[in-house]
Amino acid sequence: MVALGEAIRRIRVSKGISQENLALHAELDRSYLGRVERADNNVTVLTVRKLAKALGVSVAKLMREAGL
Indicate if the alpha-carbon torsion angle 48, 54, 57, 58 is positive or negative: positive
Question: Which among 40, 64, 55, 42 is positioned nearest to 8, based on CA atoms?
Answer: 55
pLDDT score, position 2: 94
pLDDT score, position 3: 95
pLDDT score, position 54: 97
When pLDDT is cut at 50, 70 and 90, the band that residue 67 belongs to is: very high
Residues 16-39 as b or e (16 or more Cβ within 10 Å = b):
ebebeebbeebebeeeebbebbee
Domain ranges of the chain: 2-66
pTM for the full model?
0.92
Domain 2-66 has CATH 1.10.3470.10: no
Alpha helices for the chain (secondary structure H): 2-14, 19-26, 30-37, 45-55, 59-66
pLDDT digits (tens, 9 = 90+) for 5-42: 999 999 999 999 999 999 999 999 999 999 999 999 99
